[in-house]
A and B are shown apart, each in its own frame.
Chain A
Amino acid sequence: MSWADAVLFAARGLLRRRGRAVLTLVAVALAAALLTALLMITETGRSRVLDQLSRGGPLAGVRVDAAVDDGVLRRVRALPDVAAVVPIATTRLLVATDGVVVADVDEGGDGAGAAPAVRPGADVEGIVGVDIAQADNLPITVLAGRLPEPGTTTEVAVDQRWLERRGVAQGEEAGVVGTEVVLGAVREGAGGRRDSLAARWTRALVVGAVAQEAAAGGVLAPLPVVLDARAWAAGGAGPAGEDPLTGGGGEGGPYEGLFVVAQGLNQVDEARQQLSALGLPNEAPENLIASVLRYLHVVELVLASIGVIALVIAALGIANALLAAVRERRREIGVLKAIGARDRDVRRVFLFEAVALGLGGGLAGTVLGWAIARGVGAVVNDYLSAQGLAGVTVALPPAVLGGGILGSAVLALLAGTVPAVRAARLPARDAMGEG
């Protein structure tokens, strides 16, 4: 009997016991779907993280806490193991949350302290200015709302320190979105006299709440907010253009720090050495990276084993269905042998039945799993875009596609072996059987 004939025969055998074949097929399909979906989801998660690490995302980031000017910035950008550099400018501004716009003020003061008098309702806040367009490279997570538009001076986000100081509970971050703040840049008058302190007040809309580790602060703002405020403050005749609140910004360059993204996870060490060689103190969350990867690996293993266990159970279903078929078809198998079928012909027919179930189920299941993973991906994308982060593309990697289908077929083949061998060994004499 040729292979084609055996296949045809197997198909007939399955069609004859259609109900059982369909049930078995569904079991295999569901198991394959589970495996495919789980593998796709973990694969997507892993590739996104690895992608970030290899592009250098925040995880491959190194923080440089030192004043940096444009010259140093250029040299850091030129370092071989550095993928991207995001300069961070920080300053301290008066921030009023009562929404009252105050014209330029001359706060009269008493005493001789250096600190400026603060309007009631205004606090001194650290402002972290970054190029929002590069936020993807920074350790910033949107908790509510969105990030400010890059380049604007009228939108800001508040960070976890701000929320903490104002007692905003977790989950209630959305409440601050849409509120207005007034930012006050303070200029020291000529001679540094306190009564010449002046503040320029500008309105800004809080468009989001974030958790950020780019630099210590309270407000995350587009770079121009910080640079403008600083320029205004420096425009006064203060000593060496020093910012009267921070005492910084006057020397060493316009930036208070850098967020340096290494080429990849493996380049973090080299990048740090190169930064140190430039005299820049730096730190990187290497342990975090390692444990994230370890965690991802464990998740992957656990999910894959769940899928594989499901497939094995489905394979047992195939074995069971075929064993029952062999039991029922004793006489028919005997007749086949009586008209000349060899043991291996019979074995082949049953193996083909098993493979047909495995392939059919594997194929249907992989498609189903792909659809499930796409669905999950869509939900994840909604979440990610709400976070202001790039969405994921849930792709079906060829390895998962091939693995799902071939794996089911191979498992089915294994499951079919016992029934097939048993069928092949049935005595031809059973053809005479009374049954």
Chain B
Amino acid sequence: MSSPSSSGGDGAGAGVEVRELSHRYERPEGRLTVLDGVGFSIPPGGHVALTGASGAGKSTLLSILGGLEPPQSGHVHVGGHDLDGLDGDELASYRRRTVGFVFQHFGLLETLTASENVEVALTLAGTRARARRARAAELLAAVGLADRAGHRPGALSGGERQRVAIARALANRSRLVLADEPTGNLDERAATRVLDLLEQLPAERGCTLVVVTHDRSVAERAPARLHLDEGRLSGP
């Protein structure tokens, strides 16, 4: 991978281009440089595994790509958006329209049913109720949970919860899916099923996919790998 490609493209996945990205945290113990001049690119519809030791900055990099934090310095270009120039509401809109997150902790709202959890993403995008329900049903069916739509997260297994989260990540036709240790809390069978679902997204929906993992076997399933070490990228 790593050949800069045209980012953008409508409907298809979002190309990612990162140049000279640095990120620091000010902490009581002193300044911590998490990312130190990172650069790479992912073509639209690409699938990349991001590895690195705990605390290497994987989640930080993912949160910058996903617009959870604005880049402190350097350039981040995703699907036609220059993330370094966006303000809070613009970042929110970027997250809503372009990005789908999958977290290790699933991040489902406990009081809502599976279907409602998917619908929240659509609600935030202003989709009407009827269309929301239809889309949620379609996505839950796609992740094999059509019959669990009315269940709350508490009644679902870890693997099922993560599949609801994947359905939610796809709700607004995200062009970039960012998964942070998506199998970290799952047993092997559930993990395999979740990874199968995620890995078919680039082909089936044209999404660009970045999966953060410290699990070698998970990383090896990806066609391209990035490794974070001491704030810098290296080969696998």
Contact with A along B63-102 (1 / 0, CB 8 A): 1001111000000000000000000110111011101010
- Do residues B123 and A428 form an inter-chain contact, with CB atoms below 8 A? no
- Do residues B107 and A331 form an inter-chain contact, with CB atoms below 8 A? yes
Residues of A within 8 A of B105 (CB): 331
Q: How far is the CA of A279 from the CA of B68 in the complex (A)?
A: 92
B229 interface residue (CB < 8 Å to A): no
A331-B107, A340-B97, A342-B89 known; 6 new pairs, CB 8 Å cut-off, are A339-B96, A339-B120, A340-B125, A342-B88, A427-B69, A428-B63
A-B contact pairs, 7 of them (CB 8 A): A12-B112, A331-B107, A339-B168, A340-B124, A342-B89, A343-B88, A343-B92
B69 interface neighbour in A2, A341, A428, Cβ under 8 Å: A428
- Do residues B66 and A338 form an inter-chain contact, with CB atoms below 8 A? yes
Interface residues of A (CB under 8 A from B): 1-2, 5, 12-13, 15-16, 331-332, 334-343, 345, 427-429, 431-432
B7 interface residue (CB < 8 Å to A): no
Residues of A within 8 A of B125 (CB): 340
CB within 8 Å for A429 and B68 given contacts A342-B89, A343-B88: yes
The smallest beta-carbon distance between A425 and chain B, in angstroms, is 10
B109 interface residue (CB < 8 Å to A): yes
B59 interface residue (CB < 8 Å to A): yes
Residues of B within 8 A of A427 (CB): 68-69
Q: How far is the CA of A262 from the CA of B84 in the complex (A)?
A: 80
- Do residues A345 and B68 form an inter-chain contact, with CB atoms below 8 A? no
Q: Which residue of A lies closest to B181 (CB)?
A: A432
Residues of A within 8 A of B97 (CB): 340
- Do residues A341 and B103 form an inter-chain contact, with CB atoms below 8 A? no
- Do residues A337 and B92 form an inter-chain contact, with CB atoms below 8 A? yes
Residues of B within 8 A of A429 (CB): 63, 68-69
Q: How far is the CA of A2 from the CA of B101 in the complex (A)?
A: 22
Residues of B within 8 A of A338 (CB): 66, 68, 95, 99, 101, 103, 107
Residues of A within 8 A of B126 (CB): 1-2
Residues of B within 8 A of A345 (CB): 124
Q: Which residue of A lies closest to B180 (CB)?
A: A432
Q: Which of A13, A15, A432 has the most chain B CB atoms closer than 10 A to its own CB?
A: A432
- Do residues A431 and B103 form an inter-chain contact, with CB atoms below 8 A? yes
B95 interface neighbour in A1, A5, A339, A343, Cβ under 8 Å: A339
The smallest beta-carbon distance between B121 and chain A, in angstroms, is 5
Contact with A along B121-134 (1 / 0, CB 8 A): 10111100000000
The smallest beta-carbon distance between A45 and chain B, in angstroms, is 48
- Do residues B101 and A339 form an inter-chain contact, with CB atoms below 8 A? yes
A-B pairs, top 5 by smallest CB distance, nearest first, are A340-B96, A335-B107, A428-B68, A340-B124, A342-B92
Q: How far is the CA of A15 from the CA of B110 in the complex (A)?
A: 11
The smallest beta-carbon distance between A42 and chain B, in angstroms, is 43
- Do residues A431 and B111 form an inter-chain contact, with CB atoms below 8 A? no
Q: How far is the CA of A345 from the CA of B126 in the complex (A)?
A: 12
Q: Which residue of B lies closest to A11 (CB)?
A: B111
Q: How far is the CA of A340 from the CA of B89 in the complex (A)?
A: 9
CB within 8 Å for A428 and B111 given contacts A338-B68, A339-B120, A339-B121: no
The smallest beta-carbon distance between A54 and chain B, in angstroms, is 56
B172 interface residue (CB < 8 Å to A): yes
B62 interface residue (CB < 8 Å to A): yes
- Do residues B66 and A340 form an inter-chain contact, with CB atoms below 8 A? no
- Do residues B68 and A340 form an inter-chain contact, with CB atoms below 8 A? no
The smallest beta-carbon distance between A331 and chain B, in angstroms, is 7
Residues of A within 8 A of B99 (CB): 338
The smallest beta-carbon distance between A277 and chain B, in angstroms, is 78
Q: Which residue of B lies closest to A345 (CB)?
A: B124
Q: Which of B91, B112, B120, B168 has the most chain A CB atoms closer than 10 A to its own CB?
A: B120
Q: How far is the CA of A2 from the CA of B127 in the complex (A)?
A: 10
- Do residues A428 and B112 form an inter-chain contact, with CB atoms below 8 A? no
CB within 8 Å for A432 and B109 given contacts A337-B95, A339-B121, A342-B89: no
- Do residues A337 and B68 form an inter-chain contact, with CB atoms below 8 A? yes
- Do residues B121 and A16 form an inter-chain contact, with CB atoms below 8 A? no
Q: How far is the CA of A23 from the CA of B180 in the complex (A)?
A: 38
Residues of A within 8 A of B168 (CB): 339
Q: Which residue of B lies closest to A5 (CB)?
A: B123
Residues of A within 8 A of B62 (CB): 432
The smallest beta-carbon distance between A195 and chain B, in angstroms, is 105
Contact with A along B144-175 (1 / 0, CB 8 A): 00000000000000000000000010001000
Q: Which residue of A lies closest to B109 (CB)?
A: A332
- Do residues A431 and B89 form an inter-chain contact, with CB atoms below 8 A? no
Q: How far is the CA of A431 from the CA of B102 in the complex (A)?
A: 10
Q: How far is the CA of A128 from the CA of B3 in the complex (A)?
A: 115
- Do residues A432 and B68 form an inter-chain contact, with CB atoms below 8 A? yes
Residues of B within 8 A of A331 (CB): 105, 107
Residues of B within 8 A of A1 (CB): 123-124, 126
Contact with A along B6-43 (1 / 0, CB 8 A): 00000000000000000000000000000000000000
The smallest beta-carbon distance between B116 and chain A, in angstroms, is 9
The smallest beta-carbon distance between B144 and chain A, in angstroms, is 21
Q: How far is the CA of A428 from the CA of B59 in the complex (A)?
A: 12
The smallest beta-carbon distance between A336 and chain B, in angstroms, is 8
Q: How far is the CA of A335 from the CA of B165 in the complex (A)?
A: 11
Q: Which of A12, A336, A340, A341 has the most chain B CB atoms closer than 10 A to its own CB?
A: A340
Q: How far is the CA of A343 from the CA of B110 in the complex (A)?
A: 21
Q: Which residue of B lies closest to A340 (CB)?
A: B96
The smallest beta-carbon distance between A15 and chain B, in angstroms, is 6
CB within 8 Å for A12 and B68 given contacts A339-B124, A340-B95: no
Q: Which residue of B lies closest to A8 (CB)?
A: B123
- Do residues A340 and B111 form an inter-chain contact, with CB atoms below 8 A? no
Residues of B within 8 A of A332 (CB): 107, 109
Residues of A within 8 A of B91 (CB): 428
CB within 8 Å for A431 and B124 given contacts A337-B95, A338-B95: no
Q: How far is the CA of A340 from the CA of B68 in the complex (A)?
A: 10
Q: How far is the CA of A166 from the CA of B124 in the complex (A)?
A: 86
Q: How far is the CA of A342 from the CA of B120 in the complex (A)?
A: 13
